[in-house]
């Protein structure tokens, strides 16, 4: 008899378990399992969880996400954990990164946890997960790399003046984005979510909904960042709505919000044109800002600047900034040569 863990057929939902989509508790309303799982999340988090849950549904051979979630919730604790263990094992075999596996299982845990809160299930997902490094690289592009990127963006603004209004607008927008990402270590999702009302040039500051938060907080920004945003707003206009718009050559339609994915691609493209050898993402500019801040300020002050929940996270940047391992290696090598 084979002991291999495989996805259970949909038909194996235990008798009497019912279908939560069509057979809700008699005393309550119909349960929307997807909304139950995603309710209360910010748009970016919601999109990420939805993507991970859909990956589970595809692996489960379910044509509907809600059907896959229903099947999981109607299993007993042992079979439910066995199902998730099988998915985890297959992701490991497919060489998915530990971070991806942990994130996907976290999405399932959220579903189960919220369903348990309202009495739809009594199970808990307790599978072991692969260890994931907090950060693969916290160094950013380096000071020289950052200045190359900044110089390229400034040159784009100067050159765009003779290339037409769309090119000029794009250059002004990109410079403002790059400075906010670096000078204030704003996350790309926070930046993409900004509206015009979230910028106050008199303070100067921007209002963001930080990671793990539900309300906006005002962050004081640098003078040069504020000047760049003001220059962009002069091009953008004072129409209420999203601060950083998508810009298209010769395309009609209402202005649309620049996505956080587009912000990332924008940074990569400018870095390539600036001649920076390594791949530079929007988050790499945040890394660079935090690393630079640690050169001049106490780690507790930098934690307030970076808005990390734990000081241990900032210490990761500090340890890797100093590269004590490399320093010790060089010292040991030098001693051996002297002997």
The residue ranges of every structural domain in the chain are 10-117, 142-322
Distance CA 69, CA 35 (A): 11
pLDDT digits (tens, 9 = 90+) for 285-296: 998 999 888 888
Pick the CATH number of 142-322 from 1.10.443.10, 3.30.930.10, 3.30.450.20, 3.40.50.970: 1.10.443.10
Which contacts of 318-323 are long-range, i.e. CB under 8 A and separated by 24 or more positions?
Answer: 318/294, 320/135, 320/138, 320/139, 321/138, 321/139, 321/291, 321/294, 321/295
Residue 288 near residue 141 (C-beta atoms within 8 A): yes
Q: Answer whether 0.85 is exceeded by the pTM.
A: no
Q: Which of 180, 174, 138 is nearest to 157 (CA)?
A: 174
Q: Is 49 exposed, middle or buried (0-12, 13-18, 19+ CB in 10 A)?
A: buried
Residue 281: half-sphere exposure toward Cβ, Cα within 13 Å: 12
Contact (Cβ atoms closer than 8 angstroms) between residue 73 and residue 25: no
- What confidence score (pLDDT) does residue 164 get? 79
Give the residue ranges of the chain where pLDDT is below 50: 1-28, 135-136, 250, 252-253, 338-339
Give the pLDDT of residue 20: 39
What is the tens place of the pLDDT at every residue in 40-86?
887 778 888 999 999 999 999 988 899 899 999 999 999 999 999 99
Task: Supply angle C-alpha 324, 139, 314, rounded to 5.
Answer: 75
- 29: exposed, middle or buried (C-beta count within 10 Å: 0-12, 13-18, 19+)? exposed
């Amino acid at each position: 008899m084979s002991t291999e863990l495989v996805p259970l057929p949909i038909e194996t939902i235990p008798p009497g378990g019912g279908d939560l989509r069509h057979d809700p508790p008699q005393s309550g309303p119909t349960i929307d399992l997807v909304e139950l799982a995603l309710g209360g999340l910010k748009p970016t988090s919601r999109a990420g969880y939805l993507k991970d849950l859909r990956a589970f549904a595809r692996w489960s051979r379910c044509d509907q996400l809600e059907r896959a979630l229903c099947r999981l919730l109607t299993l007993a604790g042992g079979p439910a954990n066995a199902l998730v263990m099988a998915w985890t094992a297959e992701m490991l075999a497919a060489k998915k990164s530990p971070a991806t596996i942990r994130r996907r299982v976290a999405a399932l845990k959220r579903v189960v946890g919220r369903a348990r809160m309202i009495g739809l299930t009594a199970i808990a997902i307790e599978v072991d997960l692969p260890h994931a490094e907090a950060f693969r690289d916290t160094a950013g592009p380096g000071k020289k790399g950052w200045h190359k990127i900044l110089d390229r963006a400034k040159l784009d603004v100067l050159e765009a003046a003779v290339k037409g209004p769309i090119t000029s607008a794009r250059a002004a927008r990109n410079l403002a984005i790059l400075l906010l990402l670096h000078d204030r270590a704003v996350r790309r999702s926070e930046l993409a979510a900004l509206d015009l009302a979230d910028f106050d040039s008199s303070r100067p500051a921007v209002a963001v909904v930080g990671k793990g938060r539900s309300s906006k907080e005002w962050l004081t920004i640098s003078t040069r960042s504020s000047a760049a945003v003001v220059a962009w707003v002069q091009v953008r206009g004072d129409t209420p709505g999203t601060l950083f718009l998508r810009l298209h050559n010769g395309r009609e339609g209402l202005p649309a919000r620049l996505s956080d994915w587009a912000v990332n691609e924008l940074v990569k493209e400018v870095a390539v044109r600036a001649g920076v050898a390594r791949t530079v993402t929007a988050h790499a500019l945040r890394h660079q800002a935090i690393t630079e801040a640690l050169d001049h300020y106490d780690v507790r002050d930098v934690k307030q600047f970076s808005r990390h929940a734990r000081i241990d996270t900032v210490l990761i940047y500090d340890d890797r900034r100093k590269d004590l391992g490399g320093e010790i290696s060089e010292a040991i090598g030098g001693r051996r040569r002297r002997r």
